Amino acid sequence: MKKKRKNNKIHRAITHIKLDFANVGKLNRLDDLKKAFMPLVQDYVDHIFDNNLKEVSKFDEIPKIETNLSERYKRCAWQQAVGIMQSFFSNERQNKPILKRIVIQGNANVIKIEKSRTEEFDFWLKISTLEKGRPVRVPIKMHRYGNEIIKTGKLCSGVTLNFENGRWYAIFVVETKNQKEEAQGDIVGVDLGIKNLLTTQTAFFGQFSQKLIDLVQKNDEKRRRKQKLNACLKKKNREPVSLQNKKLEATIKNEIGRAINLFIQSLPMNPTVVMERLSIKEMRFRSRSMNRVLKASKIGYALDRLKEKLDLNHIRYVTVPAAYSSQECSKCGYVDRTNRPTQEKFTCKFCEYTENADVNASKNIAKRFGDDELKSVTDYREMKSFERFPGARSASDELELGFTLREIGGFPLTVNQLA
């Protein structure tokens, strides 16, 4: 089921516009600006987080925090912090956002775009700085892709600056009439698992199942030796050695990061990513060794990283209930645990539809976005524990109660749009 949007205008970002034509003096003043601006945004984020201001608005009175930035920049920093925290709250994130990337979302009060009067450059940016009445003016040569986008619509006021790998870039926003196919956007369902880290309706990202199992088994042996050693050390009243395996953890995190990057690169224009609301803590296997694999696979960490990356890339995402996504036939809707005879295979007992089990699950997840039937369901208590993996069971039958219907019905959560 596709979603309709009231507004048929969309905003497209032109990223990676280089500010390389600015001289050293100008660049130094931009550096001073970022050194004042970023801590202030973080302070505002802290303020909103610490006071749990879930209804925070861009138009709220700005908390008084010491800074040498102008009132106009304070407003920008506040708006930026509010945007971050609105996304934080609606995506039910837990840990306070710590801003690592340097991004200045300037509105027209602090950064103006002027058309160049000479052939040499396309635009000039007039950027206010810490010194009152002394803006820096930076010439811009637009890249070819940017020019293509500008042709499609109207350049918006307001420019975002970002500092990446020692370089400044600008991001322009162009408002265009929505193309029909873009109005609906592509719905990409994502299934998270340990066989394939991410599975969409059409592709897999991050296959490290067997490799992971081997690594975890090796780690288990090591761990047992360390435990024996620690028993000896304890007798001798000496400090125990750490049981943690940092190398294994790093390997897994690396794999996760790579898989997520490939996934993001594969997304179509204007996608909506739909994923399951998982409660990793409550997922358990019957076998202890598989539990260790599950724990080591860091699906919870992967989910967090995925959300973070989607936020950074301004990609919209929603979460839907996870119940039965691996047992339900994505073609006819028949639900049966025997539909999934093995970890990898899905065969519908009713219509005989056969598919890779993860792909089938991701198709279900995509379908659940905006699904009328799910919207009408108000009581999930009837749903029993579900089987995410064969042999897995949830720790409690209340696993599915945690979601709010607001997220699957109503308007999309456009929490991470640019404009």
**Which residues of this chain interact with Zn ion, rule CB under 5 A?**
329, 331-332, 334, 348, 350-351, 353
Nearer to Zn ion, 272 or 326 (CB): 326
- Separation CA 354–CA 162 (nearest Å): 47
Nearer to Zn ion, 335 or 383 (CB): 335
Q: What is the DSSP letter of 326?
A: T
Q: Least CB distance from residue 372 to Zn ion, whole Å?
A: 19
Token readout for 331 is: 């073609």
Q: Least CB distance from residue 330 to Zn ion, whole Å?
A: 8
Q: How far is CA 84 from CA 38, 125, 134, 230, 324, in A?
A: 13, 25, 30, 45, 33
Chain position carrying tokens 């739909």: 274
Nearer to Zn ion, 301 or 334 (CB): 334
Nearer to Zn ion, 362 or 416 (CB): 362
Q: Least CB distance from residue 284 to Zn ion, whole Å?
A: 28
- Separation CA 303–CA 337 (nearest Å): 25
Nearer to Zn ion, 194 or 365 (CB): 365
Q: How many Å is the maximal CA-CA distance in the chain? A: 82
Q: Which long-range contacts (CB under 8 A, 24 or more apart) does 353-360 make?
A: 353/329, 355/330, 356/199, 357/326, 358/191, 358/193, 358/195, 358/196, 358/199, 358/204, 359/191, 359/199, 359/200, 359/201, 359/202, 360/326, 360/329, 360/330
Nearest to 109 by CA among 83, 77, 139: 77
Q: Which long-range contacts (CB under 8 A, 24 or more apart) does 243-249 make?
A: 245/219, 248/215, 248/216, 248/219, 248/296, 249/298
- Separation CA 86–CA 104 (nearest Å): 17
Nearer to Zn ion, 199 or 360 (CB): 360
Length of the chain: 419
Q: Least CB distance from residue 356 to Zn ion, whole Å?
A: 15
Nearer to Zn ion, 253 or 349 (CB): 349
Nearer to Zn ion, 305 or 331 (CB): 331
Nearer to Zn ion, 308 or 387 (CB): 387
Q: Least CB distance from residue 358 to Zn ion, whole Å?
A: 17
Nearer to Zn ion, 314 or 331 (CB): 331
Q: Least CB distance from residue 333 to Zn ion, whole Å?
A: 7
Q: Least CB distance from residue 329 to Zn ion, whole Å?
A: 3
Burial bucket for residue 95 (CB in 10 Å: 0-12, 13-18, 19+): exposed
Q: Least CB distance from residue 338 to Zn ion, whole Å?
A: 12
Which phi-psi region, left, alpha or beta, contains residue 221 (left: φ > 0; alpha: ψ -120 to 50)?
alpha
Q: Least CB distance from residue 391 to Zn ion, whole Å?
A: 23
* DSSP-derived pairing of the beta strands 204-207 and 271-276: unpaired
Nearest to 81 by CA among 58, 108, 109: 58
Nearer to Zn ion, 145 or 350 (CB): 350
CA torsion through residues 110, 115, 116, 122, sign: positive
Residues 6+ apart with CB under 8 A from 26: 136, 137, 138
Q: Least CB distance from residue 187 to Zn ion, whole Å?
A: 20
Q: What is the DSSP letter of 409?
A: S
Q: Least CB distance from residue 350 to Zn ion, whole Å?
A: 5
CB atoms < 10 A from the CB of 291, how many?
14
